Amino acid sequence: MSGSTFGKIFRATTFGESHGTALGVVIDGVPAGTKIDAAKIQERLDRRRPGAKANGKSNAAVTSRSEADKAQILSGVFEGKAQGTPIAIEILNTSQHSSDYANIKDTFRPGHADYTYWQKYGFRDYRGGGRASGRETCARVAAGAVALQFLEQTLGKKFSVTAYTLRAAGISCNKIDLKAIEQNPLRAADLNAARAMQAKIEELRAAGDSAGGIVECQIKGVPAGLGEPVFEKLDATLAAAMLSVGTIKGIEFGAGFDAADLTGSQNNDQIKAKGGKATFATNNAGGILGGISNGDTIIFRVAVKPVPSVFVEQKTVRNKNGKLADASLKIQGRHDVCLCPRIVPVVEAMAALAIADAVLQNRAARV
């Protein structure tokens, strides 16, 4: 299977399936001497893993599947530093319930990649979705944790990547409080909104249904000048990174689609000089102009679709000796109700990988 590698210089190649022995990633291009803290990789994985709690509370939004998601560094790190050779990280699967998927061996789940994988490859791993499962994202988070350590050491303490749930189950945050993100199970930036989101998601879980939402991400401390015109603009690279995540169906930067209703004078971010450097009065561009970072905060939002695994009967088709026939299906197993809280660390990881690659590419931009 091609298409499992992201990046040009800082490259991450993931492997593994939902119900296979393990998942993992091979990371190429990490500059030798970069300090690699295994504990920081584990911290990032712990935020994404199923069965995790926030502030000691269980989350109605996520699956009951409990995985330790312990990262084992197999190569590329010696005495706490990258050697400049490929860094391989493995994460074992320990809580597969493959029997939960026996009833979909020949039946295609609506909203999943079952049908399209079958059309492309002629057969598919039906256990939890195989390679198309959201479980694959744990390898991305491990790679992103390495990218973050490189960026923090390269760009300094002002650099940060922070994502949070902006909207879930039809309920939006009324304010952005970054301190609130890890204080609620939805990883929302508004504690009051988080409580309302949680209550609505409890209702949907009881009804066997699911919800989607919007995750917003802020990247601070990015220097001006990153991005490779024309076809590899920084926003295009970030968009590719985000849309490679199976549940994400849309992305917008800065003012986003609202810019369509603004005038040019309203949408333009006016520039002033401060301390010999450019500052912007607004950030409708989302920190990127002409595909190149302008030094302001990069801000974007992604649309997270409702979880397709719902516990209500649905109409579909099944493969019967190579021909399709009508069928009905009621999904079994353990599934998320809203993916937003677990997508937050995935968004941060993919953003870090995109910026790390852009930093390394930019070193060749000029003398």
pLDDT band at 282 (very low <50, low <70, confident <90, very high): very high
Smallest Cα–Cα separation from 350: which of 2, 4, 6, 1? 6
* Mean pLDDT confidence for 214-225: 98
Q: Which residue has the higher pLDDT, 60 or 217?
A: 217
User: Around Cβ 195, how many Cβ atoms within 10 Å?
Assistant: 15
Q: Is 333 helix (H, G, I), strand (E, B) or coil?
A: coil
Q: Is 17 helix (H, G, I), strand (E, B) or coil?
A: coil
Q: Is 15 helix (H, G, I), strand (E, B) or coil?
A: strand
**61 pLDDT higher than 60:** no
The CA-based angle 166-170-174, given to 5 degrees, is 45
pLDDT above 70: percentage of residues in the chain: 92
pLDDT band at 123 (very low <50, low <70, confident <90, very high): confident
